[in-house]
Amino acid sequence: MQRIEEKLKILADAAKYDVSCSSSGSTRKNNGGIGDASTSGICHTYTEDGRCVSLLKILLTNHCIYDCAFCVSRKSNDVKRAAFTVEEVVDLTMNFYRRNYIEGLFLSSGIFKDADFTMERMLRIVKKLRQEERYNGYIHLKTIPGASEELIKDAGLYVDRMSINLELPTEAGLKLVAPEKDHESVKKPLAFVNEQMESFKEEKKLIKHTPVFVPAGQSTQMVIGATPENDFEIMQVADDFYKNYKLKRVYYSGYIPINNENSLLPQIGSAPPLVRENRLYQTDWLLRFYGFRLDEILNPQHMHLDLDIDPKLSWALRNPHFFPVDVNTADFNAIIRIPGIGRQSALKIVHARKFGGLYTYQLQKMGIAYNRAKYFLQCVDTPFRLGNPSMEHVRSAILSESNSGNRRQAVTGQLTLF
């Protein structure tokens, strides 16, 4: 018998490559037991790599019958194996939750015996939490590819979020490193759960007491930099999945080399592509919240994101005709396209200008990155400019101005460690 400490060590370590730790999107209430969901999620702490820790993220077991080359739990890998019992997972979850360490449980698993056998065991944990412990906190369940629709449907009644990972952005990439897997077995359950969510919602309109089904929706994850897909291909896949399966989130996880056995994968010692990962998230953000279309940022002429500057700035430099934007008259949707201005500040600007034209000194205080934005905007006291400044010049001016507040800095700052 392994001690619980050792199991936790092995099974938390193996689960950490799933980057999602979100606890948002659910509105589950506490009805007579313990726990509820916080709509916008709560990060209870952060790891030293700066990632949010919201959920107890563990595998039920790291035994696996498959041999995916990018995965630490693959069959041929020489690692210590462990498996939690149903009771152990429930006990850990409840005791962490009551001490306010976590928002809930993120349960995933290697596949032992077969998909249904594994899925059935996970379902037992989820049911025990909800029914016996009267636990209403967050549960994220990672579906096992190949599990039966019945089990998936049953689980959907108890969990808040479900996910199933694409792993590699394209089918071709996946075939290279995980010949036993395909994208079809990911798409099918995603589509199935999506249909169920829709039909439960329809039913709810007619019958009030319809139970909720996966209230926080579905997500997926792609590993970046393990196989040769370019940014355009990756974001096309993400865009499709957002549209076709109404996903809540797509996660991009920079590949961290874990073995030297597969010569197709980056070898141990090569740094994970953190800047690129960051740029993909920024692009994702622009598509979902800033009204950008994918082809404005990435297209057959621009298949790679610029690593030196963020995608919004990069778009702005390629589209000088859009600028300068007059913040005193322009639409909200035009203002959020100005590099250095986010949605919050844009909202402030739109409100504030009703009280009179805005001046530079006022903008500077509103929390915008003025030194970057100044090339692209106009306000009451902006001096008249003859012609447009060359975008090449703007680019180098912004790059040389080491603005300590920007995110890119934090990322490069730590890359220099390697």
Counting contacts by CB under 8 A, is residue 30 touching another protein? yes
C-alpha distance from residue 404 to each of 56, 306, 412 (Å): 34, 20, 12
> Given the complex with ligand SF4, which of 110 and 339 has the nearer CB atom?
110
Which of another protein, ligand SF4, none does 209 bind, CB closer than 5 to 8 A by kind?
none
Counting contacts by CB under 8 A, is residue 393 touching another protein? no
Nearest 10 degrees: Cα torsion 93, 129, 60, 257: -60
Say if CB 188 and CB 145 are below 8 A apart. Answer: no
Which of another protein, ligand SF4, none does 386 bind, CB closer than 5 to 8 A by kind?
none
Counting contacts by CB under 8 A, is residue 13 touching another protein? yes
Considering only residues 83 to 102 of the shown chain, the ones binding another protein according to CB under 8 A are 92, 95-96, 98-101
Which of ligand SF4, another protein, none does 329 bind, CB closer than 5 to 8 A by kind?
none
**Smallest separation, CB 139 to ligand SF4 (Å):** 20
- Residue corresponding to tokens 């930099």: 225
Which of another protein, ligand SF4, none does 73 bind, CB closer than 5 to 8 A by kind?
ligand SF4
Tokens representing residue 224 in the block: 């970046």
> Given the complex with another protein, which of 142 and 183 has the nearer CB atom?
142
**Smallest separation, CB 73 to ligand SF4 (Å):** 4
User: Which one of residues 271, 369, 391, 397 is an interface residue with another protein (CB under 8 A)?
Assistant: 271
- Say how far apart CA 248 and CA 125 lie, in whole Å: 24
Which of ligand SF4, another protein, none does 172 bind, CB closer than 5 to 8 A by kind?
none
Question: What is the rounded radius of gyration, in angstroms, for the C-alpha atoms of the chain?
Answer: 24
Q: Give the interface with ligand SF4 as residue ranges (CB under 6 A).
A: 64, 66, 68, 71, 73-74, 110-111
User: Which one of residues 177, 349, 368, 373 is an interface residue with another protein (CB under 8 A)?
Assistant: 349
- Say how far apart CA 141 and CA 189 lie, in whole Å: 13
- Say how far apart CA 221 and CA 249 lie, in whole Å: 8
> Given the complex with another protein, which of 73 and 170 has the nearer CB atom?
73
Report DSSP letters for 364-418, one per residue. HHTT--HHHHTTTEE-TTPPP-SSPPPHHHHHHHHHHS--TT-HHHHHHHHHTT-
Counting contacts by CB under 8 A, is residue 215 touching another protein? no
User: At a CB cut-off of 8 Å and minimum separation 6, what does 246 contact?
Assistant: 194, 197, 217, 218
- Say how far apart CA 233 and CA 228 lie, in whole Å: 10
> Given the complex with another protein, which of 105 and 190 has the nearer CB atom?
105
Helix (H) or strand (E) holding 53: strand 52-53
Q: Which residues bind another protein (CB under 8 A)?
A: 4-5, 8-9, 12-13, 15-17, 29-30, 32-36, 38, 42-53, 56-57, 92, 95-96, 98-101, 134, 254, 256, 271-272, 274, 348-349, 351-356, 358-359, 362, 365-366, 410-411, 413-414, 417
